[in-house]
């Protein structure tokens, strides 16, 4: 059978003319790589529609008057991520052994592991930075009235995040298992046990036995590196979902400016 000629596309649909070397359908290697990248992203997106979610999350309208104080939440998030990354490296060398092994492993990290002292320092100082940032972020949301309707649930999630951040700081303090860590945790645990209603149960749970010792250290370690980071990550997800869904609150002075009934200059 004679082959039918390929129909010629109208000029508007033909695309740009081939560049030198591309006349026979060849594509320059750099262009091929670029095209492959686009295709992989498209391939994943076609099956997941993730680009829609990413656009929903990242391209949002923000109120007039948004300022640097609104970066405190993201700064807290960054501090958490930094703690997670440095914590994973520390966990590669740390041993929760109450018979001297824990302290030895920390000494090994500080004195012998490449960049160990630096990573340990980042984790240690990062813990304080995160606590300070979470308080500053909470103060910002409180002073800007961002806890009011419809953001009460996000405030409550924030309170839980604050408590969990403090639990991280408390449980992490015991891990070097030196004299200071030991006695500071004994005192903190005794204070916890004097709390109302659940205080005594919480004290017993954290001590994990009649005396402070090996089981206490294992319990603190599992809470510090598994339970609480998991909870914090999940709650940050819910927190950011609500921030994206509800948007952020305009600064209080901005509200007055944009509501004509409250602004005499515009009446
Ligand atoms: C791990 C801790 C936390 C992280 C990573 C975090 C992260 C964020 C981020 C990124 C935002 C959006 C930007 C901004 O307003 O700064 C935000 C908003 C908000 N956060 Fe947090 N947050 C944390 C803890 C808290 C705490 C402790 C509270 C209060 C008790 C809180 C209450 C709120 C509220 C009410 C908003 C909405 C702000 C608005 O509408 O203007 N958050 N958070």
For 137-194, the pLDDT digits (tens) are 999 999 999 999 999 999 999 999 999 999 999 999 999 999 999 999 999 999 999 9
Ligand 1 center to 127 CA (angstroms): 18
Mean pLDDT score of the chain, rounded to an integer? 89
CATH 1.20.810.10 fits 68-244, yes or no: yes
Query: Comparing 43-47, 120-124, 262-266, which segment has the lowest mean pLDDT?
Result: 262-266
Predicted confidence (pLDDT) at residue 267 exceeds the cutoff of 60 = no
Ligand 1 center to 52 CA (angstroms): 23
Predicted confidence (pLDDT) at residue 9 exceeds the cutoff of 90 = no
- Residue located nearest, by CA, to atom 39 of ligand 1: 248
Looking at the CA of residue 79, tell me the nearest atom of ligand 1.
5
Q: Which of 143, 162, 239, 247 to mutate to test the pocket of ligand 1 (most atoms within 8 A of CB)?
A: 239
User: pLDDT tens-digit profile of 62-88?
Assistant: 999 999 999 999 999 999 999 999 999
Ligand 1 center to 159 CA (angstroms): 10
Mean pLDDT of 2-18: 62
Ligand 1 center to 92 CA (angstroms): 31
- Which residues, including other chains, have CB under 8 Å from residue 56's CB and lie 6 or more apart? 244
Predicted confidence (pLDDT) at residue 13 exceeds the cutoff of 90 = no
- Residue located nearest, by CA, to atom 43 of ligand 1: 73
Maximum Cα–Cα distance for the chain, whole Å?
A: 95
CB of residue 62 inside a 6 A radius of ligand 1? no
Tell me the CA distances in angstroms from 211 to 97, 207, 216, one per residue in order.
15, 7, 8
- Which residues, including other chains, have CB under 8 Å from residue 260's CB and lie 6 or more apart? 266, 267
CB of residue 83 inside a 6 A radius of ligand 1? no
Q: Which of 70, 136, 141 to mutate to test the pocket of ligand 1 (most atoms within 8 A of CB)?
A: 141
Question: Pick the residue with more confidence: 25 or 81?
Answer: 81
Predicted confidence (pLDDT) at residue 95 exceeds the cutoff of 80 = yes
Check residue 39 and give its pLDDT.
83
- 265 — pLDDT class (breaks 50, 70, 90): very low
| Domain residue ranges in the chain | 68-244
Question: Pick the residue with more confidence: 74 or 262?
Answer: 74
Mean pLDDT of 19-24: 62
150: preceding bond cis by omega (within 30 degrees): yes
Check residue 11 and give its pLDDT.
60
In angstroms, rounded to a whole number, what is the distance separating the alpha carbons of residues 206 and 179?
Answer: 18
Mean pLDDT of 237-259: 87
Ligand 1 center to 64 CA (angstroms): 18
In angstroms, rounded to a whole number, what is the distance separating the alpha carbons of residues 40 and 36?
Answer: 6
- 108 — pLDDT class (breaks 50, 70, 90): very high
């Amino acid at each position: 059978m004679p082959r039918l000629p390929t129909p010629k596309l109208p000029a508007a649909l033909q695309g740009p003319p081939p560049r030198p070397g591309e006349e026979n359908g060849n594509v320059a290697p750099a262009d091929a790589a670029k095209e492959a990248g686009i295709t992989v992203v498209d391939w994943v997106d076609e099956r997941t529609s993730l680009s829609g979610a990413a656009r929903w999350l990242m391209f949002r309208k923000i109120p007039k008057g948004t300022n640097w104080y609104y970066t405190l939440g993201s700064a807290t998030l960054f501090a958490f991520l930094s703690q997670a990354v440095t914590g994973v490296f520390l966990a590669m060398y740390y041993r929760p052994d109450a018979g001297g092994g824990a302290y030895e492993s920390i000494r090994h990290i500080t004195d012998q592991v490449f960049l160990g002292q630096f990573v340990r320092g980042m984790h240690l100082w990062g813990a304080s930075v995160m606590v300070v940032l979470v308080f500053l972020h909470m103060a910002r949301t409180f002073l800007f009235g961002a806890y009011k309707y419809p953001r009460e649930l996000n405030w409550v999630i924030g309170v839980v995040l604050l408590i969990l951040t403090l639990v991280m700081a408390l449980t992490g303090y015991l891990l070097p298992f030196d004299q200071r860590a030991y006695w500071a945790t004994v005192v903190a645990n005794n204070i916890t046990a004097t709390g109302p209603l659940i205080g005594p149960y919480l004290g017993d749970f954290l001590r994990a036995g009649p005396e402070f010792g090996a089981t206490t250290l294992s319990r603190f370690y599992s809470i510090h590196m598994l339970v609480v980071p998991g909870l914090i990550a999940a709650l940050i997800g819910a927190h950011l979902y609500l921030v994206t869904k509800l948007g952020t609150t305009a600064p209080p002075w901005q509200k007055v400016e944009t509501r004509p009934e409250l602004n005499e200059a515009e009446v």
